[in-house]
Structure 1
Amino acid sequence: MRILGILAAMAISGAAMAEPGRWQRAWPDTDFSNTSISDWSEIMSGGPPKDGIPAIDAPRMIPAAAETRLDATEPVMVWPAPEGPARAYPIRYLLWHEIVNDAAGGVPVAVTYCPLCNSGMIFDRRIEGRELSFGVSGMLRASDMVMYDRQTESWWQQAIGTAIVGEMTGAELELLPAWMDSWERFRAAHPDGVVMDEPDWSRDYGRNPYVSYDSSRRPFLYSGEMPPHGVPALMRVVRVGDRAWPFSRLREAGQVTEAGVTISWEAGQASALDAGRVGQGRDVGNVRVRDAQGRDVPHDVLFAFAFHAFWPQGEWMLGG
């Protein structure tokens, strides 16, 4: 957790300068007069500067059968790309890059992962026919990554896929059906699939820089309300729309059908935010979300505190 302590000290310093007048020097092309934010103190520096966490563009993809570096239970983001094989994006790379700008079957996507919220989602990068590409701003709001688009330098809240500052304020990215799965499950389900190759950056890929984070009592750089109903702040929940199902319930039940979806849980996926090596994390399980016709449903698996922060009136699906 030493890295989190260093970042916290940097963020406290950044929070003292949480106002557009000071940000304008680093963001001269961002229209701070156009925003949905009423209290600028909600936004703080997470430590790294703009692009200090480098997004990946047009990643190399290799056949899943040729990949030998990943452990069987390592988590990967899975996108069933149109007109082509399914694509996997290892969390071991997203821990260090957080955004991957990719495209397949004529669909440009932003593969995103915020380690502090465990929020992994894949968005269509087009807004009314305009294709955007995304980078990491270095800012956080409610501990969640603030992305920016390179075309207008507007800021986007990753958890909700919505622009919150700049020309694009109010625009919403389309969340695509995608899910986090273990590497061995992906290979078994998609023997002809492809996987993102290791990026050409000097990073210790496979190492977790957030050791023991998801067993902490409180989230990092978060001062908002804790979740209700006694749900632990860093428990994973499945979010579909404005509803959340705690993993504790899903693990016990194995499968839950309600509110128009069927959510299944199966053991065999390592937490990326637990042990020193991503593939050695404790088993948190695999989740799939489908509708009544068996089609995959857009969803997110994030920590309970983040769901409460961005959906304070959301419905907690606790069962019983």
Structure 2
Amino acid sequence: MTRFLAFLTSLLLIAGLATANPSQWRHEWPETNFQKTSIDNWSEIMSGGPPKDGIPAIDDPKFLRAGDKGGIAGNEPVITVEIDGQTPRAYPIRYLTWHEIVNDQIGGIPVAVTFCPLCNSGITFDRRVQGKVLSFGVSGKLRHSDMVMYDRETQSWWQQAIGEGIVGQMTGVELRQLPSWMESWDQFRARNPQGLVMAEPDFNRSYGRNPYQGYDSSARPFLYNGESPPHGIPPLERVVRVGDRAWPLTRIRNEGGVREAGVAISWEKGQASALDHGTIAKGRDVGTVRVRDRQGRDVPHDVMFAFAFHAFWPNGTWMVR
């Protein structure tokens, strides 16, 4: 699997470098303003394989009560969103693996729940920007192996890992990240027996299967030609990112959690990796992270691969002690 990924990566990198030019993209993106961009080197952007909307985002998802939902193994990961005054919601990674973006509304807040499998990046954003409510789709493009989203209202491109517009009218605009976290289905429903869980989308997909089998044990990321992380940290080790700081997950797990830089980061076993075994529920246990401030409030964060943190925060701080 790893050898195949390396071979496929080399082919796609060559193809991507050969066509990394807005003139090649205008027919598919006639409404995108390529004159406005924060990208200095277009070769950083390449095709991930699928075309625009080839990975279909989910709009207006349906929900079931946690106690009524079957078919999800207890250790499978979900992205949990808990907003004050609203019923907690769980978005199973078994669905996000195949759709990557869910456009939803919780109370009066329009949200985009996003997951980039190639970076293990799961982030929830407020979709309100400059007086508009944006809806997001999957562009089919990658930058540093991270999903490039687009908004349907202005056709601008957005970098998922940093929540910032990188091409088009919204270049330089930042989305507000909301507190959310990945935990196991068992952990969510034990805490929220009356919570809501996203129902299975009406698409013909192999939900529960991991199409990236063995990915998080690979030596190199898929479709990435940047530098490896410093301090000898493997590129596909998970790190907990809070702002521009990153804590290696191995350190947090070995120390039973950490308290520093104004946050408390805890770790609890019970969550399967979504990027290990071909069946998500059979993935190895990578555990669940929660990040809280001194008042015990949940803090926006991400549990991403180390190479992605280094790519998007090259001057970031590595909390390696």
TM-score where L is the length of structure 1: 0.97
Unaligned residue ranges in structure 1 (runs of 5+): none
Matched residue type, 1:80: E
Contact 1:15/1:45 (CA < 8 Å) preserved in 2? no
Q: Which amino acid aligns with 2:154?
A: T
Residue equivalent to 1:232: 234
Instruction: Give the direction of change, closer, same or farther, for the CA distance of 1:222–1:40 in structure 2 (3 Å limit).
Output: same
Residue 182 (structure 1) aligned with residue 181 (structure 2): no
What's the counterpart of residue 260 of structure 1?
262
Counterpart in 1 of 2:161? 159
Residue 21 of structure 1 aligns to a residue in which SS? Answer: helix
Give 1:154-303 correspondences, 5 Å limit.
Answer: 154-303=156-305
Match for 2:311 among 286, 309, 312?
309
CA RMSD of aligned residues (A): 1.3
Mapped partners of 2:258, 2:120: distance in 1? 22
CA contact (8 A) 2:180 2:300 kept: yes
Partner SS, residue 164 of structure 1? strand
Give the distance between the partners of 1:117 and 1:23, measured in 2 at CA: 24
Structure 2 residues not aligned, in runs of 5+: none
- Which residue in the other structure is 2:72 paired with? 70
> What is the rounded CA distance, in whole Å, between the counterparts of 1:198 and 1:99 in structure 2?
14
Deviations 1:180-239 (A, max 9, x none): 000000001111100000000000100000000000011011000000000110000000
SS of equivalent residue, structure 2 residue 97: helix
Tell me the distance in 2 between the aligned counterparts of 1:295 and 1:311.
25
User: Distance in 2 between the 1:232 and 1:40 partners?
Assistant: 27
Number of residue pairs the alignment of both structures matches: 319
* Deviation readout 1:24-80 (Å, 9 max, x if unpaired): 010000000000001100100000000000000010011010111111110000000
Identity of aligned residues (%): 66
Aligned-partner Cα distance in 1 for 2:17–2:206: 29
Q: Is the 8 A contact 1:11 1:46 kept in 2?
A: no
Shift of 1:81: 2.9
Contact 1:238 1:302 in 2 (8 A): yes
Equivalence for 1:102: 104
| 1:313 alignment partner AA | N
Alignment TM-score, normalising by the size of structure 2:
0.97
Structure-2 separation of matches of 1:154 and 1:179: 27
Residue identity opposite 2:135 in structure 1: S
2:85 to 62, 83, 86: 83
Secondary structure of the equivalent of 1:251? helix
Q: CA offset at residue 269 of structure 1?
A: 0.5
Hey, what's the Cα distance between the residues in 2 that align with 1:289 and 1:48?
A: 34
Runs of 4+ in 1 over 3 A off after TM superposition: 1-12
Aligned 8 A contact 1:8 1:46 in 2? no
Structure 1 residue 255, shift from structure 2 partner: 1.4
Once residues 265 and 285 of structure 1 are traced to their aligned partners in structure 2, the CA distance between those partners, rounded to angstroms, is 6
Shift of 1:254: 1.0
